[in-house]
Amino acid sequence: MPAPATAKNFSSHHIKGLAPVLNLMQQLGFGERVCLEGSGLASGESRGVGQGMTLEQEFRIYRNLLSLSEDALLGLKLGQAFRFESYGILGYALMSAATVQSALETACEFGSLTFSHFRLESISQGGLVGLLFKQASALPADLLAVYADRDLSAVVNALKVSGLEIALDRVELMHDGQGRTGAYEAYFQCPVGFGSAHNALWFPLEMLTLQLPQPDPEAEAFCKARCRELIQGADTPNSLSRQIRDRLRADAVFPPAESMAGSLGCSVRTLRRRLAKEGINYQSLLDEARHERACELLRGNLPIQQIADLLGYQEPGNFTHAFKRWQGCAPMMYRARLAGGPETGSNDH
């Protein structure tokens, strides 16, 4: 999905792709420290804001995972750790799409905002749609299978978590199958071929019209606009918008522009002027940070009132209104969907 990262510096966006993986490894009985051994990353840094990571560091970590688990099919399990939310603002754009086709188009347009080493494309052929993962950067031979398996498994899992059962026609993988054709076919519930020029998921064309559960055109447009800003490079490590995002995420507080400008050693006028040059404004950065933090907090059990307070809203109703604008549903409904329970929009205050 994502464009290749350079060996010099894997962005903080990409390092966040370690969090779901490390969470799953912990469930398998392997702590973060042993998973990161020899990578130069300390426990906690893999979740850190503004932290960089080289490709060599990531490769070392994945080799650790394979060695610890002694599981040649680990990539399939790792893919199950990813949800749409794992991809940040891109994930929210996908969740807000109306149909599978719309989500697929968004994923192909902004695939470089994911954690993959493959470029995502889609093609139609003989009544089928192929979601192709073409290698975008050189991968060590010993890691090709785990990355390929992870990415295809992540797509299938994200759709299942959204309540969609995509009946695959076939799957194609670049690696040799490791002598486990039966295990792969049992996992994907379809024929699986190996030694392909690319990885691919093939499914019937009519499945493009399947409706996603949380369509919201306004939220989708907001999130896609933010994705375009990231693609265009407004979020480079030295940009003011990146500095502000890092502070908002690290501190989990949401100060007015005047306070943020003072902490950065500039006037509020300078702050606004510099952000305008980067194609964004301070309120958009606040909304984005609050949106991400709200989704994180709603995965827990805090009352809506307390979450509103933590996000800087004096009235829970204002938080509910903002969340509906971002996510297309009320906070309690979002929490119910995460839990797989009945959806209820009442009692949001």
In the CATH scheme, what is the code of domain 217-339?
1.10.10.60
Q: Residue 345 pLDDT > 60, yes or no? A: no
> Which amino acid makes up residue 90?
L
Mean pLDDT, rounded, for 126-141? 88
The CATH 1.10.10.60 domain(s) of the chain lie at 217-339
Q: What is the predicted pLDDT for the residue at 248? A: 87
Band the pLDDT of 235: cuts 50, 70, 90: low
Q: Mean pLDDT throughout 228-240?
A: 70
Query: How far apart are alpha carbons 293 and 304 in whole angstroms?
Result: 13
7-11, 117-121, 195-199, 236-240, range with the lowest pLDDT: 7-11
pLDDT at 234: 54
* Every domain range in the chain assigned CATH 3.90.1520.10: 12-209
pLDDT in tens, 81-123: 998 888 888 999 999 999 999 999 999 999 888 888 898 999 9
pLDDT range class, residue 334, cuts 50, 70, 90: confident
pLDDT at residue 341 is higher than 70:
no
Q: In what order do the strands lie in the sheet with 199-204?
A: 118-125, 128-135, 199-204, 170-172, 192-193
Q: How far apart are CA 169 and CA 143, in angstroms?
A: 26
The whole-angstrom separation of Cα 138 and Cα 122 is 21
Distance CA 191, CA 316 (A): 50
Highest mean pLDDT among 92-96, 137-141, 224-228, 287-291: 92-96
Q: How sure is the predictor about 64, in pLDDT bands with cuts at 50, 70 and 90?
A: very high
Q: Which CATH number fits domain 12-209: 3.20.20.140, 3.90.1520.10, 3.30.1120.10, 3.40.50.10470?
A: 3.90.1520.10
51 has a pLDDT exceeding 60? no
**Which of the four pLDDT bands, split at 50, 70 and 90, describes residue 2?**
very low
pLDDT at residue 319 is higher than 90? yes
C-alpha–C-alpha distance, residues 133 and 235, integer Å: 25
Around Cβ 32, how many Cβ atoms within 10 Å? Answer: 20
pLDDT of 130 reads 95
Q: Write down the pLDDT at residue 340.
A: 62
Q: For residue 187, is pLDDT > 90?
A: yes
DSSP 85: G
The predicted model gives 35-40 an average pLDDT of 92
User: For residues 281 and 263, what is the distance between their CA atoms, to the nearest angstrom?
Assistant: 17
pLDDT, average across residues 263-291:
87
